[in-house]
Amino acid sequence: MKVIAKVGFSGPAVSMSVGQVGEIADKTVLADLLKAGYVEKVEEMPEGEKPGEAEKTPKEPDQEIAPAQKQKKKKAVKSSEGK
């Protein structure tokens, strides 16, 4: 059955990343993954679409992250006892 991965997972029979569309032939594995909510059945795709394009949820735009400020290292100061 053709499915799309809702989460990334890896196992001895099959591994998929989020949004990946693939075929799972082993009915026992398929039943377990469907029951756990890891995959869902994919209907026939409209002509011209590539696997994984229509099924993926659009990501939120990345927020601009300010560059980390460089921390200045303090030099160790030895106290002189004679002063």
Residue 76 placed within a domain? no
Q: What is the pLDDT of residue 74?
A: 60
Q: Tell me what pLDDT residue 57 has.
A: 47
Starting at the edge strand found earlier in the chain, the sheet holding 2-5 runs: 21-23, 2-5, 39-41
Mean pLDDT of 13-40: 95
* pLDDT reading at 9 higher than 90: yes
- Position 18 in a domain: yes
Q: Tokens representing 72?
A: 């200045």
28-74 confidence digits (pLDDT tens): 999 999 999 999 999 875 555 555 554 444 444 444 544 555 555 56
pLDDT at 18: 96
* 50 belongs to a structural domain: no
Looking at the 3D structure of the chain, how many domains does it have? 1
